[in-house]
Each structure stands twice: as structure tokens, then as C-alpha cells.
């Protein structure tokens, strides 16, 4: 009897009311802003080196961080959320940083940097290996 009454009430309510479709946006897993909003991946290996009366291990470790999403728009609008920042690493930014570091060390700041740029342009640094080539690229 209750079953028949329940079915009858359902039919009456469904006939006399409008059909309303309820749509709910999908939910996304986001993480709060703060210290713990990243995943850190660390990989490495070690090789024992034989030295008399000493235990030495030579190793290499690679570490990387991946930021976790803090806003659902990072899923729905990734082109907006992951735009490159406006501050680009330029040669002038590097020079300003070097001048600041040289001034803190009391080495002359801008004068020292300009002298280094002139000396690097005159003197070949390629024979100093990778470090020399990098200095040549940065300073010329």
C-alpha cells in the first residue's frame, strides 16, 4: 500500500511541476597557498671510491620542484593561469645583480664590471673550458 501511494505521489508531483535540470560544475582538487604547495622530486646515485683507510662515496643528486594548483582556474583556463611572467632574465638584469654583489663586497661595483667586460672582450677566455666560455658569453 505504501509503495503504491509513493508511486502515485511521484507521478502527481512529476506531472504538475516543471522539470528543472540541476547542473553542478565539476569540482577540482586544489591546494592552499603556503609552504606545502609543491611536490619535490629527488633522485640520485652514489658510487663508492676506494681510498686507503677512508670510506668515500661520490654521488650525484637531481632535485626538482613542481608547484601544485592553488586555484581551480588553473585547470579550466591553463593559458591564463600559466602565462610567463613579465620579468624576463636579461643581460641588464644580470649586470645590475653583479654590480650589487660587487658593491656589497667593496670591489668597486660598476667600475669593476665595466673593466671586466673590456678585458673579456680583449682577452680570449675559451682556453679556460666551460667556465671561460660562459664568462665570455656573459661579459661580451
Taking residues 89-99, report their average pLDDT: 85
pLDDT of 104-127, one tens digit each?
888 888 888 888 888 888 887 778
- Identify the three-state secondary structure at position 16: helix
DSSP-derived secondary structure letter, 127: G
Task: State how far the Cα of 129 lies from the Cα of 56, in Å rounded to an integer.
Answer: 27
With both helix axes pointing from N to C terminus, report the angle between 110-122 and 129-139 in degrees, rounded to the nearest 10: 120
- Identify the three-state secondary structure at position 84: coil
- Identify the three-state secondary structure at position 130: helix
| Closest to 108 in 3D by CA, of 119, 99, 116 | 99
Kindly state the cell numbers that stand for 103. 658593491
pLDDT of 11-49, one tens digit each?
776 666 666 666 667 666 666 666 667 888 999 999 988
Domains of the chain, residue spans: 28-83, 86-140
* H-run or E-run covering 39: strand 38-51
| Closest to 29 in 3D by CA, of 72, 89, 73 | 72
Q: Which residues contact 34 (CB under 8 A, 6 or more apart)?
A: none
Structure confidence at residue 116 (pLDDT): 85
pLDDT of 35-93, one tens digit each?
667 888 999 999 988 888 888 888 999 998 887 777 777 667 666 656 666 667 788 88
Amino acid at each position: 500500500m505504501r509503495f503504491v501511494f509513493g508511486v502515485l505521489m511521484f507521478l502527481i508531483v512529476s506531472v504538475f511541476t516543471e522539470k528543472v535540470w540541476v547542473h553542478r560544475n565539476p569540482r577540482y582538487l586544489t591546494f592552499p597557498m603556503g609552504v606545502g604547495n609543491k611536490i619535490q622530486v629527488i633522485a640520485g646515485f652514489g658510487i663508492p671510491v676506494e681510498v686507503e683507510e677512508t670510506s668515500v662515496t661520490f654521488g650525484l643528486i637531481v632535485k626538482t620542484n613542481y608547484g601544485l594548483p592553488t586555484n581551480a582556474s588553473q585547470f579550466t583556463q591553463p593559458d591564463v593561469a600559466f602565462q610567463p611572467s613579465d620579468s624576463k632574465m636579461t643581460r641588464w638584469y644580470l649586470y645590475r645583480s653583479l654590480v650589487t654583489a660587487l658593491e656589497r663586497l667593496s670591489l668597486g661595483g660598476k667600475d669593476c664590471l665595466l673593466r671586466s667586460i673590456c678585458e673579456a672582450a680583449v682577452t680570449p677566455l675559451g682556453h679556460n673550458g666551460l667556465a671561460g666560455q660562459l664568462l665570455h658569453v656573459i661579459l661580451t
